[in-house]
Amino acid sequence: MNRVPLEGKVLSENARVAAELRERFREHRLPVLNIISSPGSGKTTLLEKTLESFSPSERVAVLTGDLQTENDANRLKRYGFPVKQITTGGTCHLDARMIEKHIADWDLEKLDLLIIENVGNLVCPSSYDLGEAAKIVLLSVTEGEDKPLKYPSIFFKSELMVLTKTDLLPYVPFDVPAAIENARRVHAEMEVVKVSCLTGNGMHEWLTWLERRKHAFLAELAHLVG
């Protein structure tokens, strides 16, 4: 008797739930962005600065994942938007079922953007579709510029690479052009934004990309309907 590997079964089930989520998000005209990086690359800080820049009338919500604690959710709740912590208890990624469970009591009609902050990991999250419109990968200048070559899957699947902590460039041996070249060796059409959450440099470009991606999502929906 042929046996399907357990991993294959898990990914197949995840794909089914993710497809249902994607259809649900489309029905509600809700763009969903999945942010992925190594631990300590600055995902939560970037989200803090992002939420801080939004008007209180902005219809945005955040799901944030970690193995333990609600520290990130507590940091993000200060800005007055809906935020939920997903505590995985040891699992190194979020999966579609976790997303389905944690949005169950949210009225998606009242949202114009949902941001998912994945667990800090460049490997496992790349295999799990969450029904998102786009993946975004963060790479800090305190990491190696060869990370896109070492972890190609997530860079290949991401539309945007955000280079973070750029205020540290005078103090660390990080080659920005090499990092961008490596990312585009993996994904030729990769967009890149360089950001310092400390100084605010690049935040305008990041926020502009977010707005542009929201409009692109709606245009894609219109094309599908048409």
For residue 223, give the H/E element and its range. helix 203-225
Q: With cut-offs at 50, 70 and 90, classify the pLDDT of residue 6.
A: low
Domains, the chain, ordered by start: 17-225 (3.40.50.300)
According to DSSP, the residues that pair with 83 across neighbouring strands are 62
Give the pairing type, strands 83-87 and 32-36.
Answer: unpaired
Asked whether residue 69 carries a pLDDT value surpassing 90, the answer given is no
Centre a 10 Å sphere on the Cβ of residue 15 and count the other Cβ atoms it contains: 14
Average pLDDT over residues 32-41: 96
Average pLDDT over residues 171-198: 98
Q: With cut-offs at 50, 70 and 90, classify the pLDDT of residue 224.
A: confident
What is the rounded CA–CA span in Å between residue 115 and residue 63?
A: 6
- CA distances to 39, 44, 45, 173, 176 from 166, rounded to whole Å, are 17, 16, 13, 12, 9
Asked whether residue 117 carries a pLDDT value surpassing 70, the answer given is yes
Question: Which of 59, 28, 31, 62 is CA-nearest to residue 44?
Answer: 62
Q: With cut-offs at 50, 70 and 90, classify the pLDDT of residue 70.
A: confident
Asked whether residue 226 carries a pLDDT value surpassing 70, the answer given is no
What is the rounded CA–CA span in Å between residue 93 and residue 82?
A: 21
Mean pLDDT, the chain, whole residue set: 93
Question: What is the per-residue pLDDT across 44-67, written as a single tens digit (0 to 9) for each?
Answer: 999 999 999 999 999 999 999 987
Q: Is the dihedral of CA 163, 190, 130, 215 positive or negative?
A: positive
3-state secondary structure of 161: strand
Asked whether residue 118 carries a pLDDT value surpassing 50, the answer given is yes
For residue 163, count CB atoms less than 10 angstroms from its CB and return exposed for 0-12, middle for 13-18, buried for 19 or more. Answer: buried
